[in-house]
Amino acid sequence: MITTSSFKTTKSEEIFAAAQKLMPGGVSSPVRAFKSVGGQPIVFDRVKGAYVWDVDGNQYIDYVGTWGPAICGHAHPEVLAALHDALEKGTSFGAPSALENVLASMVIEAVPSIEMVRFVNSGTEACMAVIRLMRAFTGRDKIIKFSGCYHGHADMLLVQAGSGVATLGLPDSPGVPKSATANTLTAPYNDLEAVKSLLAANPNEIAGVILEPVVGNSGFIPPDVGFLEGLRVLTHEYGALLVFDEVMTGFRIAYGGAQEKFGVTPDLTTLGKVIGGGLPVGAYGGRKDIMSLVAPAGPMYQAGTLSGNPLAMTAGIKTLELLQRPGTYEQLDRITKKLSEGLLQIAQEATGGYISAMFGLFFTGETVRNYEDAKKSDLAKFSRFHRGMLERGIYLAPSQFEAGFTSLAHTDEDIDRTLAAAREVLSN
């Protein structure tokens, strides 16, 4: 591997060294550390369009997109302008605002399963609340999740949870009581028979099944043909709810998310990332009869001081408006196809794919259908690839177990430069 001698990260190293004394691991979220690829994280200074700049002045083409929200490109001028206007009216109301109606209407219009929605501040919060709601509605306590699917860091969902948990090799986390996960059953992704067995073995006890309809948190893993449809049939059969965690896929793999793309409508859906346009927003929604249980309409308690925050609503509304413009998803598909097919041509013994603005590459010759398969990929090779790309100005997620993201700001030239870098790195 050739390292580029001009690549300097002195300031990043200084700032990160100081950060490590101030915050655990020097980061505010573990996935930002470079634990699994080695080396130190790059400290960002600013972001714009498809690019990010670090504190040493290096520029990168970015395929992390702040982990999903930046689908229109970072710091989109129209989002910034809308935020400037909203800022003049104050940063938080703690009371109803018309902005919530606007974003709620847009979400309800877009996402087939959502008839009513509740805004929260993160994907984690949305998933925590939706589990409570599943249990409140069905009067059942058990839930089924899939290994390698991440639904935020709430206790009952921190079981075989992919993403940062996978990266750090923690099957679980200390501090999560056994009682908290006792009602969480897990099945391998893309394994309908396993789900059927769990449902059959726990009659009238399973509140529902939650999943990433396209997995992004064990790397990119699409559902097998018939998997989502099969879950829909099985959950109906056993009186359980079906929940799509579309925190990552919502407004990314199609405007209406995976449920629009695959034509399977769950009972409930969680959202986050893109709907906040880069500000903290999560949401859960679904059938009106179920959502009517949420306080104050119903007895299921869930609240938030900053929920429905006017700045966050504004960024979300503008981002969705940009996504509604004609040709958006065709453009995302075209650019991501070019990147994904290009990478697969260059990388020998790699497998992967893409859907719309989400892609993945595993360093394994075998097809990856679930987290077990994903774990067979060559992590050392991925680390070398990651480092080589970083030194050539390409910023990829620092883990084999994360999906990549493109945006409307990525150009053909950006993709060409990325593929040229990959050719250089992988030929050594």
Q: Which residues sit at the interface with ligand PLP, rule CB under 6 A?
A: 122-124, 127, 150-152, 212, 216-217, 245, 247-248, 272, 282
Tokens at 341, concatenated: 């097919």
- Taking the least distance from each CB to ligand PLP, the nearer of 145 and 338 is 145
- Between 126 and 425, name the residue whose CB sits nearer to ligand PLP: 126
Instruction: Give CA–CA dist 285/269, Å, rounded.
Output: 5
Q: Closer CB to ligand PLP, residue 104 or residue 248? A: 248
Judge whether 150 counts as a catalytic residue: yes
Beta carbon of residue 133, minimum distance to ligand PLP (angstroms, whole number): 16
Q: Which of 54, 62, 245, 414 is catalytic?
A: 245
Which residue is closest to ligand PLP by CB? Answer: 123
Q: Catalytic one among 150, 238, 354, 371? A: 150
CB 220 within 8 A of CB 404: yes
Nearer to ligand PLP, 148 or 388 (CB): 148
Q: Which of 161, 176, 165, 172 is nearest to 210 (CA)?
A: 161
| For ligand PLP, the closer CB: 60 or 284 | 284
Query: Is 273 an annotated catalytic residue?
Result: yes
Q: How far is the CB of 2 from ligand PLP (least distance, A)?
A: 34
Nearest to 383 by CA among 391, 273, 195: 391
Tell me how far, at minimum, the Cβ of 194 lies from ligand PLP, in Å.
20
**Is residue 375 annotated as a catalytic residue, yes or no?**
no
CB of 299 to ligand PLP, least distance (A): 25
Residue from 228, 223, 271, 278 nearest 249 by CA: 271
- Considering the complex, what minimum distance in angstroms separates the CB of residue 247 from ligand PLP? 4
Q: Residue 192: name the closest of 234, 153, 141, 164 by CA.
A: 234
* Helix, strand or coil, per DSSP, at residue 136: helix
Concatenated DSSP letters for 77-117?
Answer: HHHHHHHHHHHHT-S--SS--HHHHHHHHHHHHH-TT-SEE
Active-site option among 35, 142, 261, 273: 273
Using alpha carbons only, give the angle 12, 16, 19 rounded to the nearest 5 degrees. Answer: 145
Catalytic residues: 150, 245, 273
